[in-house]
A = this chain, B = another copy of it.
Amino acid sequence: MPTPTLNIELERAGEEPLYRQLFTQIRGQIDGGDLPDGARLPASRSLARQLGISRISVVNAYNELRAAGYLSAHAGRGTFVARQREATEIAPPPRSAPAKRQRASAIRELMRRARKPGLIDFSGGAPPGEFFPLRYLQEAINQVFERDGADALAYEAPEGYLPLRRSVRDYVRAIGINCRVDDVLITGGAQQAIDLVLQSLMRPGETLLTANPTYPGIIDIAEARRVHIRGLPIDEDGIRIDALENALDHLRPRLIYVMPSYQNPTGHLMPLHRRRQLARLAAQHRIPVLEDEVYREFRYDGDELPPLKALDESGVVIHTNAFTKVLLPGIRIGYLVADAPYTERLARVKRAADISTPGLNQRAIHLLLERGVLAQQLERNRIELRRRRVAALAAAQRYLPEGCQWRAPGGGLFLWVELPVDGPSADQTFMAAIERDVAFAIGALFFSGDGGRQAMRLNFGIHKPETIEEGFRRIGEAWAAL
């Protein structure tokens, strides 16, 4: 394999030492696939000459890359890319942005490996499989085949299957959103909806505001799209308004992402006055707000609140939800509701992304909606989830270490627990917990910057009350053992 030309740009006046900049850029090119396994790097002397820096900087960078498991050297033959995945992904977390990303992958990998039969797993984000209206869906799919034949398997319009768009329009009108059918775009789940909005409204290097902690999927998207994510501090009502004002004044953000109802991971519900403040601020600054309402229908108590989009008079709010988040995650049907200036571009980006969401899936969900199956199933799920919440709160009280803090969520699937600051960290607790066959989501996953070292998210919705009790007992035991 020939020696590739490295495309390196050093900031000579920057604060970061040159060898470190070189290290980061070469690592980035290896991670990004520009430098494949087996590629030979230029000799240190020639790279130093090419870049006009001292040879010792290059040697240091190569040494670091070797130590981090990215390179191998063969005396007399040269230096080669030889990525040892294990070495890099489990490496201790340094502080740069790629390091943070690497730490998140390491945590995910850790959580993935922990999965085994018999594990009581509170780490997932999905609702339990027994809640899915399987038979109804199967029936609906068969009916679509009988009714539509090949039409159900032809390309669908990028904007979505028209009758489903109409159903969505009616659905969101019922929660106060002034919506026309043209304002609705069907997507591959809420994740694609969020990604399309970022692609349509943001360019690389621009700033996105979110709560901190936040939904990890938006951190993934920000990374993939190379946009800056700035996590704002929250209080019990959501993003703090003073922090938001400050960020709007000084950071020139292009988009605000919020989850007003039963936020993932903290479970907080943004009250009406905060919703109004947020909508007003966004309108004043003319910054679009993407509200992700995927947990909206997981309400256990309290009044139903209007979504931000229902309070939006200037067209800056974009609303997303996915019926299937709460019922059928694997079928991947979500939607966006937005005003005209946005929808056209969103539809263009959607067509570029995957032409359309599978028509068969859209038609089946449409039938389920029309028949009220989804609403009935939600109601049944709610009753069972309330029981599980009661069990989780009682088990937390009984088994979690003294000094832990949590709030009873008014909805959603998650209990967000902060461990005592002076005790074992969430990582440490996790390691001890998996030895006892129980797992949870480590808090750091939900933070765009540092943070979450002492936090954990527990999906109580996914287990029966007795399993919740046993799982929480083991977590308490794991912590105490440390």
> Which of A26-34, A53-61, A237-245, A419-427 is found at the contact surface with chain B?
A26-34
> Which of A135-143, A294-302, A450-458 is found at the contact surface with chain B?
A135-143
Contact of A226 with B by CB under 8 A: yes
- Interface set, chain A 340-384, CB cutoff 8 A to B: 340-342, 344-345, 348-349, 351-361
Contacts of A125 in B (CB 8 A): 155
Contact of A393 with B by CB under 8 A: no
**Do A217 and B355 contact each other (CB < 8 Å), given the known contacts A142-B142, A330-B155?**
yes
B interface footprint on A192-231 (CB within 8 Å = 1, 0 otherwise): 1001000111011000000000000100110111100000
**Do A129 and B142 contact each other (CB < 8 Å), given the known contacts A35-B341, A353-B191?**
no
Contact indicator A33/B204 (Cβ below 8 Å): no
Contacts of A348 in B (CB 8 A): 220, 223-224
Contacts of A328 in B (CB 8 A): 153
Checking B33, B201, B204, B224 against A352 with a beta-carbon cut-off of 8 angstroms, the contacting residue is: B224
Interface centre among A36, A38, A137, A221 (most CB of B within 10 A): A36
Contact of A286 with B by CB under 8 A: yes
Contact indicator B145/A132 (Cβ below 8 Å): no
Contact of A331 with B by CB under 8 A: yes
B interface footprint on A282-306 (CB within 8 Å = 1, 0 otherwise): 0010101000000000000000000
**Do A134 and B156 contact each other (CB < 8 Å), given the known contacts A30-B341, A224-B349?**
no
Contact of A189 with B by CB under 8 A: yes
Interface residues of chain A: helix, strand, loop or mixed (majority): helix
Contact indicator B345/A195 (Cβ below 8 Å): no
Contact indicator B141/A354 (Cβ below 8 Å): no
Q: How many copies does the complex hold?
A: 2
Contact indicator B223/A352 (Cβ below 8 Å): yes
A254 to chain B, nearest CB (A): 9
Contact of A78 with B by CB under 8 A: no
Cα A57 to Cα B291 with chains together (Å): 39
Contact of A402 with B by CB under 8 A: no
- Interface set, chain A 13-61, CB cutoff 8 A to B: 30-33, 35-39
Contacts of A174 in B (CB 8 A): none
**Do A31 and B354 contact each other (CB < 8 Å), given the known contacts A153-B134, A329-B155?**
no
Cα A314 to Cα B3 with chains together (Å): 12
Contact of A149 with B by CB under 8 A: yes
The interface on chain A, measured as residues whose beta carbon lies within 8 A of the other chain's beta carbons, has a size of 80
- Interface set, chain A 122-159, CB cutoff 8 A to B: 125-126, 129-130, 132, 134, 137-138, 141-142, 145, 149-156
A93 to chain B, nearest CB (A): 18
B interface footprint on A179-198 (CB within 8 Å = 1, 0 otherwise): 00000000111011001000
Checking B38, B192, B316 against A353 with a beta-carbon cut-off of 8 angstroms, the contacting residue is: B192
Contact indicator B191/A355 (Cβ below 8 Å): yes
Checking B153, B195, B217, B330 against A154 with a beta-carbon cut-off of 8 angstroms, the contacting residue is: B330
Contact indicator A129/B145 (Cβ below 8 Å): no
**Do A32 and B345 contact each other (CB < 8 Å), given the known contacts A134-B145, A195-B352?**
yes
Contacts of A121 in B (CB 8 A): none
Contact of A401 with B by CB under 8 A: no
Contact of A4 with B by CB under 8 A: yes
Contact indicator A356/B332 (Cβ below 8 Å): yes
Contact of A418 with B by CB under 8 A: no
Contact indicator B36/A341 (Cβ below 8 Å): yes
**Do A132 and B155 contact each other (CB < 8 Å), given the known contacts A138-B142, A191-B354?**
no
Contacts of A141 in B (CB 8 A): 138, 141
Contact indicator A352/B221 (Cβ below 8 Å): yes
Cα A192 to Cα B352 with chains together (Å): 8
Ranked nearest first, the 8 interchain pairs of A and B with the lowest CB-CB distance are A129-B150, A224-B352, A36-B341, A192-B354, A153-B330, A330-B359, A33-B341, A220-B352
Interface CB pairs A-B, < 8 A, 19: A2-B286, A30-B341, A33-B200, A33-B201, A33-B344, A36-B316, A36-B339, A37-B339, A129-B149, A129-B151, A134-B153, A137-B153, A138-B141, A203-B226, A204-B204, A224-B353, A332-B355, A358-B358, A361-B361
